[in-house]
Structure 1
Amino acid sequence: MKAVRRTVTPRLTAGLVGTVVFLTAIAPLATDMYVPAFPQVAGELSTTATQVQLTLTTFFVGMALGQLIGGPVSDQRGRRIPLLAALVVMTAASIGCALAPTIGVMTVARLVQGFAGGWAMVIGRSIIVDLARDAQLVRVLNLIAAVGGLAPIVGPLLGGLILQLSHWRVSFWLVAVLGLAMTLSVLVAVPESLARESRHAGGLRNFVAAGRTVLRNREYVGYLVVAGAAMGALFAYVATSAFVLQTMNGLSPIAYSIDFAANAAGMTVAALVAARLAGRVATRKLILTGQIAALAAGLAMLVGALWLGTPLLLAIVCFFVLMTAQGLMIPNGGALASAAVPEHPGTGSALQGFVQWVAAGTIAPIAGLGGQHTAVPMATLVTAGAAVSMIGLLVLAKPSTGHRRLP
């Protein structure tokens, strides 16, 4: 009698969830541990603030492309092997960053690091969606989001500590070690979650067709602008805050890292408060509140940069208000964008990630065009980002009558 071969469905174990949570820390750790070192990198590699900030741009562009391409490819080829390949490449690119002799080599290595990291992150989320259902899926995704909020707090503190005790290159060696640890964790704890019969041959071709459909939805595009413009404003801050607070105002790397962590904590708390208020306060009102706060912070910073010499207290207060406002704008804008295209959730999510990371990568070097001793470009970009985000909400994303949407 011929035996019947049965496919065993992998289980969502604690080890698997922990590994995917670990993967979500790639982007914030690879960025935020490095940000406090910008002045030192510029000095050692004999380069300008704008060129150092360009390494953020290439990382973010890589992240955007990795997320946009990695999801469809893994739908076609499976999850485990593409994920392992991405982690190996990310580890190698991190070593390249640690050894980079010039800013040009650093820029290319950061592009590869971002691409592989984005690829790994999108596959990690796909594995959770493959295996979790209903309430379990919600719990795991909330856990991943919580880690995403904590990593920007830990990253700069760790980066500042490294600068106090050692050299900025150590932060990249640490990311390489984490990449190796992630690879080993995937080998041990993550099985293939997408059965062969569930894969499809459409790949990128199907993704492009669905993308066209999603981008014809004006409400979705409006919320895409809301979150993308807010992301641009946020990374104008990320790219220049080290120069504003350290070079212009004399903060030490560890003091700067503490302030950066406090601002990230403000953003995390705002996002948690918004989650608690969901269903009781209209999501659009929460977004608008964040936009008004961000616009006020940008205008105050611009006045301070133009006429007051960017005093330390003003910069600290404005940065905190700006970052806290992002906790109301970016997650809620993304949620409403997804709600606007319920028939294409994966495509909508991939396009959101792509647009947000491209915005981050484009804005970062522009914010540093004035050099290390002015905050005018950054303050202008923060103000413009808040204003454009508001246009996305109030003009482009006007909900259609009778359209199903989040409260």
Structure 2
Amino acid sequence: MPRLTSGPALAPMATGTGVPPDRVRRQARLTSGLVATVVFLTAIAPLATDMYVPAFPRVAGDLSATATQVQLTLTTFFVGMALGQLIGGPVSDQRGRRRPLIGAIALMTVASIVCALTPSIAVMMVARFVQGFSGGWAMVIGRAVIVDLASGARLVRVLNVVAGVGGVAIIVGPLLGGVILELSHWRVSFGAVAALGVAMTISVLVAVPESLPSQRRHGGGLRMFAVAGRRVLGRRRYVGYLLVVGSAMGALFAYVAASAFVLQSMNGMSPIAYSGDFAANAAGMTVAALAAARLAGRVATRKLILIGQVAALAAGVAMLAGAIWFGTPLLLAVGCFFVLMTAQGLIITNGGALASAEVPDHPGTGSAVLGFVQWLAAGLTAPIVGLGGEDTAVPMALFMIAGTVASMIGLLVLARPGDSRPRAQTLPGTSTPS
């Protein structure tokens, strides 16, 4: 079966046309402008989310919505993001990269304008779904362009640059959103995302050529993706690491969905102070991920994941105790949030790497399924966390605990060493994928 090319770990596909890959690649080149544009596309999700999160309490007031309804706008965005990544990659394998990419960015820009002008929370939910779907579609195609034009060590370097700048966007997003909220109105943050969409469209028109000529496209589309998807989901250890990462994302986005209410509505923190705290937590997660990269080959990857899970579980338990018996004091909440976010830097990235190592024969499909599960978990978490209203942190704490426990089950039970299936290829810098 031909190898699919959706997702960030895509591989050029043999076409049977007799056209040498090197000759095809000469039709488009990997330039610094193209890489910068893909980095720009990667920032869509953190900017469209984190710029908006500090405004949750004000959005609820302005649109006469409940906390759960506001958090549902996160759900619709993340579900859209999951579907966009799952579908966009296979469709671009069939139709090419450039036109679907331009169309996705244009649609995201229109959806952002609708969010800025929304008269009701219901319209906001629909617009956020479209914004997430088109944004996820653009992100997966942007990464596919990189893989079309690079290989070997160069591919690894470029994808690391793209991923690294994504961490910066997570830090900058809430700070920018807090400044906008302090100086203006929450609707302006969506206007800013729309302006970025226009800039992204211009960047793609100028810097991104068609990287997948017609002779390298295939006609299988979503049908072939479904066949490969069934194969990767039949591997127990892959499913275990999928649970590790997806459940950790659920715990993480319990924090993202409810922290604005806990820190601002319950503890009186200002939007700008909240944004600074959010950025500090994101920095902790980034530093933990970088530290894990430095420790690769010296400390077992599974051990690093388990350390992160234990820390996240401790943060969840402390948060629950504080919410039930002490009224969720500010210092406790800030400390628990920092530990939880930092722990995810050890869990999510390493779990995703081990998941990919379990399906070396289907890297694109494995990556697309992983991305889908991550964003779906993020989206489903948000409304459930808000069921208790904006005056309690108990549901959030319970989700932090439940997500972490499920993640530990994935690591220690489903992905345990000693599976009878053939061993997957070893991760770079480690002696074993375990």
Q: Per the shorter chain, which TM-score range?
A: over 0.9
Aligned partner of 1:194 in structure 2 is 212
Question: Quick one: distance in 2 between partners of 1:135 and 1:337?
Answer: 21
Question: Quick one: distance in 2 between partners of 1:84 and 1:157?
Answer: 28
Kindly tell me the number of residue pairs found equivalent between the two proteins.
Answer: 402
Which one-letter code corresponds to 2:165 in the other structure?
V
Match among 170, 176, 185 for residue 158 of structure 1: 176
Structure 2 regions of 5+ residues with no counterpart? 1-22
1:82 equivalent to 2:93? Answer no
Question: Quick one: distance in 1 between partners of 2:137 and 2:390?
Answer: 33
Aligned partner of 2:4 in structure 1 is none
Question: Quick one: distance in 2 between partners of 1:25 and 1:275?
Answer: 22
**What is the SS of the residue equivalent to 1:369?**
helix
Shift of 1:338: 0.4
Shift of 1:80: 0.2
Deviations 1:235-285 (A, max 9, x none): 000000000000000000000000000000000000000011111111100
Which one-letter code corresponds to 1:403 in the other structure?
R
Match among 183, 207, 211 for residue 225 of structure 2: 207
Shift of 1:9: 2.4
Aligned partner of 2:52 in structure 1 is 34
Aligned partner of 2:394 in structure 1 is 376
Structure 1 segments (4+ residues) deviating >6 Å: none
**What is the SS of the residue equivalent to 2:388?**
coil
1:274 equivalent to 2:292? Answer yes
Match among 240, 243, 254 for residue 272 of structure 2: 254
Question: Quick one: distance in 1 between partners of 2:88 and 2:315?
Answer: 36
Question: Quick one: distance in 1 between partners of 2:382 and 2:296?
Answer: 32
Aligned partner of 2:37 in structure 1 is 19
Match among 283, 305, 311 for residue 329 of structure 2: 311
Which one-letter code corresponds to 1:120 in the other structure?
A
Deviations 1:49-106 (A, max 9, x none): 0000000000000000000000000000000000000000000000000000000000
1:292 equivalent to 2:310? Answer yes
Question: Quick one: distance in 2 between partners of 1:240 and 1:94?
Answer: 23
1:54 equivalent to 2:72? Answer yes
Aligned partner of 2:362 in structure 1 is 344
- TM-score scaled by length of structure 1: 0.98
Shift of 1:42: 0.2
Deviations 1:81-133 (A, max 9, x none): 00000000000000000000000000000000000000000000100110111
Deviations 1:286-316 (A, max 9, x none): 0000000000000000000111100000000
Aligned partner of 2:423 in structure 1 is 403
Which one-letter code corresponds to 1:236 in the other structure?
A
Which one-letter code corresponds to 2:227 in the other structure?
A
Question: Quick one: distance in 2 between partners of 1:129 and 1:306?
Answer: 50
Which one-letter code corresponds to 1:272 in the other structure?
L
**What is the SS of the residue equivalent to 1:373?**
coil
Which one-letter code corresponds to 1:131 in the other structure?
L
Match among 301, 306, 312 for residue 319 of structure 2: 301
Question: Quick one: distance in 2 between partners of 1:375 and 1:240?
Answer: 8
User: 1:113-124 maps to which residues of 2 (within 5 A)?
Assistant: 113-124=131-142
1:91 equivalent to 2:109? Answer yes
Quote the sequence identity (%): 76
Which one-letter code corresponds to 1:340 in the other structure?
E
Aligned partner of 2:11 in structure 1 is none
Aligned partner of 1:3 in structure 2 is none
Match among 314, 328, 334 for residue 346 of structure 2: 328
Shift of 1:403: 1.6
Match among 158, 177, 182 for residue 200 of structure 2: 182
Aligned partner of 2:3 in structure 1 is none
Shift of 1:393: 0.1
Which one-letter code corresponds to 2:407 in the other structure?
S
Question: Quick one: distance in 2 between partners of 1:125 and 1:13?
Answer: 14
Question: Quick one: distance in 1 between partners of 2:331 and 2:183?
Answer: 27
1:138 equivalent to 2:156? Answer yes
1:112 equivalent to 2:147? Answer no
Structure 1 regions of 5+ residues with no counterpart? 1-5
Aligned partner of 2:243 in structure 1 is 225
Question: Quick one: distance in 2 between partners of 1:50 and 1:213?
Answer: 37
Which one-letter code corresponds to 1:82 in the other structure?
P
Question: Quick one: distance in 2 between partners of 1:156 and 1:77?
Answer: 36
**What is the SS of the residue equivalent to 2:365?**
helix
Shift of 1:134: 1.1
Aligned partner of 1:364 in structure 2 is 382
Question: Quick one: distance in 1 between partners of 2:133 and 2:291?
Answer: 32
- TM-score scaled by length of structure 2: 0.92
Aligned partner of 2:12 in structure 1 is none
Superposed CA RMSD in Å reads 0.9
Deviations 1:301-337 (A, max 9, x none): 0000111100000000000000000000001100000
